[in-house]
């Protein structure tokens, strides 16, 4: 092997290091004192991360657009969702009737958004009530346990043993058809799923070190639940809410399709699908229209639910 040294090493040995060869950089106090990330609250940070999630933000925009059209489109149109025009029966989409007309000459554009108003209201109300009731009951059972947990869980097991659709149909037969009746029927059995997963999460979280430390310090149970447990299950609750809304919409559509949902002259996406099935082969666009809005609503809510789950998760805060 050769013992020859490289020219760089020889030059370093020949020229000793002096202070003039170095530059004192010092410290940048402005950079040291600068805030690395904005000082945001929990919900402000969740909104910031939700906007960065493009699919979730698109889903939010679609849901918001459908909600606004459901509110304002029937108000701004010069057609009524119950007005019949014999000269416009089965009219194709045109500048006068943007989505065409049904078998009695009623404008489908207005009926679609009146149906959206009913379907979205039923889905949102039923899912929200189920989430609130299930979260409260499941949270109490998971945090305190004991006889309360045993009794409630046995009731939940009994309800789970009976198909929820059968209970909903029986309630509709007893109470009659209508929007309020449909919401009540969905809420009677819809809370049990939320109750079970909230109970499991609370039961797991209450054994964590930070919760035990708070108990040792004498923090009240209410404060522990509000500040430590609820933020850690908020992501799952929001995701469950966004997933439950399209489920409620589909359930309403099915009940309306079999004649147990919304009573005429009110309309919903399920009513529109039921009325258009009879002319599927001759006028397929009348089936495609409500099916399109149901599918896009479900897709948008699923994307929004996934994005909200990541946005409100405290474990992901500050990682970006």
Encoded tokens for 297: 């609503």
Q: Which phi and psi angles does 245 have, rounded to 5°?
A: -60, -50
Q: pLDDT band for position 21 (50/70/90)?
A: confident
Cis peptide upstream of residue 229 (ω within 30 degrees of 0): no
The reported pLDDT for the residue numbered 82 is: 82
Q: How many CB atoms sit inside 10 A of residue 46's CB?
A: 23
The reported pLDDT for the residue numbered 217 is: 87
Q: How deeply is 252 buried, as exposed, middle or buried, from its count of CB atoms within 10 A (0-12, 13-18, 19+)?
A: buried
pTM of the model: 0.76
Q: Does residue 130 contact residue 244 with C-beta atoms inside 8 Å?
A: yes
Angstrom distance (rounded) from CA 165 to CA 256: 13
Whether 10 shows a pLDDT value over 70: the answer reads: no
Q: pLDDT band for position 6 (50/70/90)?
A: low
The reported pLDDT for the residue numbered 66 is: 93
Angstrom distance (rounded) from CA 287 to CA 267: 15
Whether 62 shows a pLDDT value over 90: the answer reads: yes
Whether 14 shows a pLDDT value over 70: the answer reads: no
- Judged by average pLDDT, the poorest of 104-108, 146-150, 247-251, 262-266 is 262-266
The reported pLDDT for the residue numbered 284 is: 86
The reported pLDDT for the residue numbered 237 is: 83
Whether 1 shows a pLDDT value over 70: the answer reads: no
Whether 205 shows a pLDDT value over 70: the answer reads: yes
CA neighbor of 62 nearest in space, from 199, 310, 246: 246
Q: pLDDT band for position 7 (50/70/90)?
A: low
Angstrom distance (rounded) from CA 276 to CA 268: 12
The reported pLDDT for the residue numbered 36 is: 60
What mean pLDDT do residues 212-223 have?
87
Whether 3 shows a pLDDT value over 60: the answer reads: no
- Judged by average pLDDT, the poorest of 92-96, 113-117, 191-195, 229-233 is 229-233
Whether 68 shows a pLDDT value over 90: the answer reads: yes
* 50-74+98-316: CATH, from 1.10.3720.10, 3.40.50.2000, 2.60.40.3710, 1.10.287.610: 1.10.3720.10
What mean pLDDT do residues 54-78 have?
91
pLDDT tens digits, residue range 218-260?
A: 888 888 888 888 878 877 787 788 878 878 888 887 887 777 7
Every domain of the chain and the residues it spans: 50-74+98-316
For the CA atoms of 136, 204, 247, 130, what is the dihedral angle to 10 degrees? 0
The reported pLDDT for the residue numbered 5 is: 57
- Judged by average pLDDT, the poorest of 127-131, 132-136, 219-223, 252-256 is 252-256
What mean pLDDT do residues 111-123 have?
89
């Amino acid at each position: 092997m050769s013992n020859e040294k490289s020219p760089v090493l020889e030059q370093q040995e020949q020229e000793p290091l002096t202070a003039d060869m170095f530059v004192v950089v010092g410290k940048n106090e402005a950079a040291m004192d600068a805030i690395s990330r904005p000082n945001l609250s929990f919900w402000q940070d969740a909104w910031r991360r939700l906007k960065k999630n493009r699919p979730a933000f698109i889903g939010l925009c679609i849901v918001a657009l459908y909600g606004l059209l459901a509110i304002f489109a029937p108000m701004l149109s010069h057609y009524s969702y119950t007005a019949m025009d014999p000269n416009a029966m089965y009219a194709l989409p045109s500048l006068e009737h943007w989505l065409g007309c049904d078998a009695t000459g009623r404008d489908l554009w207005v009926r679609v958004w009146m149906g959206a108003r009913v379907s979205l209201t039923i889905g949102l109300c039923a899912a929200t009530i189920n989430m609130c009731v299930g979260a409260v009951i499941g949270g109490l059972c998971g945090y305190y346990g004991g006889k309360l947990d045993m009794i409630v869980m046995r009731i939940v097991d009994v309800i789970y043993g009976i198909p929820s659709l059968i209970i909903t149909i029986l309630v509709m037969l007893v109470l009659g058809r209508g929007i309020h009746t449909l919401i009540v029927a969905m809420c009677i059995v819809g809370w049990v799923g939320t109750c079970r997963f909230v109970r499991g999460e609370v039961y797991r979280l209450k054994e964590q070190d930070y919760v035990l430390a708070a108990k040792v310090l004498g923090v009240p149970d209410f404060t522990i639940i509000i500040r430590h447990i609820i933020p850690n299950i908020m992501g799952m609750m929001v995701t469950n809410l966004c997933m439950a809304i399209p489920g409620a919409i589909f359930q309403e559509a099915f009940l309306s399709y079999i004649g147990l949902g919304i009573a005429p002259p009110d309309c919903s996406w399920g009513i529109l699908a039921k009325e258009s099935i009879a002319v599927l082969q001759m006028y397929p666009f009348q089936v495609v229209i409500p099916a399109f809005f149901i599918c896009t609503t479900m897709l948008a809510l699923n994307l929004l639910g996934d994005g909200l789950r990541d946005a409100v998760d405290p474990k992901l805060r500050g990682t970006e």
